[in-house]
Amino acid sequence: MPNVVLVGAQWGDEGKGKVTDLIARDFDYVVRYQGGNNAGHTVIHGDKKLALHLIPSGIMYEKAVPVIGNGVVVNPQVLVEEMRMLEGEGLSCERLKISCDAHVIMPYHIELDKASEFRLGKNEIGTTNRGIGPCYQDKAARSGIRIQDLLDEHVFRMKVEAALEVKNAILKKVYGKRTFTVDEICEAYLPFAEIIRPHMAETAQLLNDALREGKHILFEGAQGTLLDIDHGTYPFVTSSSCCAGGAATGSGVGPTAIDRVLGIQKAYVTRVGAGPFPTELVYPENGGEGQDAIDGDLLCAEGREYGVTTGRKRRCGWFDAVIARYAAEVNGLTDIALTKLDVLSAFDTIKVCVAYECNGKRYDYFPMQQSVLFHAKPVYKTMPGWKGEDITKAKSFEDLPANAQAYIEELERLSGVKATIISVGPDRDQTFTSRLRRRPKSKSAASSAHPFCSKFIVS
């Protein structure tokens, strides 16, 4: 069993929780390496669906040690509430390990997040207002508070006092918002320290010791490639490194320890929050018209596209092979898990974006210029659907209708990455592996879509 990074290959919400939940049982450690409680994974426990926002999906399995790495930002209240929720469901959190170096989301981070978004108005980024960005700002500015600081009340008070000199001034003078006192923050946060204390660990050392012992690690990413602070659709991104490279920095293991990078993609694309989205099918309530608006509403309804963390209606669109190729490139994807294929069973025909057009120029690759991406128009290929055929009971690639097989093969050809896991429904038993199926039609066929595609085809 190799060490695997599981990464979102679109704008997040690709179904990473389900895939992690499915494969985590085969690993000794499951590590969350970035983000905070601005992300949500839905996992299955018995006949219940549980929403996890911080704790890795490995908590579901007695063998796996779930680890919150140094790259994560932690709201202690949310963490403790999540631990209590799991324990109430009969799932022990005794094995949970939390990096001493993970940064703490403070109350003023949340207020600053809300105030900043409100001030931006129609130009808002679309954050979850959970203080993630301001916490990462303090981390980069070397003025953040870490989990280890909660262990010493004197140190914690000193650091909070220093932070409030600046944060209160900004909250009051810039935004006209409430300020905080050292005592009220200590009163709220220090009790959490005693609950978290038994779980604190030098997780980088823990994981490297595990590697030396031949243990296997699953690195669980949050959000998605296009929300990465460096490689996403900036500035409409999150504040952490969502790509596969973030697994090394966010956990403290070297990149040579990683054997496989599994990208998670929906059979279509969704996005939450503001920012460019070339294949978006705009909803009627947002001004969309015609068949595109109808298709967008149908995708949302059939896919039950509402955010786990925010509850917001997700923006929906057809599969975008341009970002699929880009995700393969920046993550070094070895293979993909294709989720929610069953949602497309509602359509007579299905579109796939193969390129963009802007100002008379065709883009087969992901354009870096923000102005181009905002005005890019998708170039579509239309494929026949399999409407009326129930694929939710399929147990293999061969069980799928011919048109569904052709659709998957076309996505593989366009992205240059093989789909080794295919999901045809929300339940665990509605996912099958496809490791022995033939590779995309030919190396030259993949390369015709993009010059880098052939590098990622898995034999």
d(CA 6, CA 57): 12
d(CA 180, CA 171): 9
Helices marked H in 416-452 — which ranges? 443-449
User: Which one is catalytic: 13, 113, 295, 335?
Assistant: 13
Q: How far is CA 200 from CA 95, 157, 163, 247, in A?
A: 11, 20, 23, 19
Task: Decide if 416 contacts 327 (C-beta within 8 A).
Answer: no
Buried/exposed code over 292-321 (b: 16+ C-beta within 10 A; e: otherwise): bbebbbbbbebbebebbbbeeebbbbbbbb
Q: Who contacts 382 (Cβ-Cβ below 8 Å, separation ≥6)?
A: 349, 350, 351, 352
Which residue, 116, 77, 81, 372, is CA-closest to 239?
116
Task: Decide if 64 contacts 28 (C-beta within 8 A).
Answer: yes
Residues in the chain: 459
First-to-last CA distance in the chain?
A: 18
Residue keyed to tokens 């669980």: 220
Task: Decide if 70 contacts 254 (C-beta within 8 A).
Answer: no
Half-sphere exposure of 67 (CA within 13 A, CB side): 33
Known active-site residue 138: no
d(CA 162, CA 157): 9
290: tokens are 């015609």
**Residue 162 belongs to what H/E stretch?**
helix 153-169
Residue keyed to tokens 């509402």: 306
148: tokens are 């280890």
Task: Decide if 220 contacts 261 (C-beta within 8 A).
Answer: no
Residue keyed to tokens 């309530």: 285
Known active-site residue 45: no
**According to the 3-state scheme, what is the secondary structure of 138-153?**
HHHCCCCCEHHHHHCH
Q: What are the phi and psi torsion angles at 269 (to 5°)? A: -135, 145
One-letter amino acid at 302 equals: E
User: Which one is catalytic: 41, 53, 199, 450?
Assistant: 41
Q: Give the residue numbers annotated as catalytic, written as ranges.
A: 13, 41
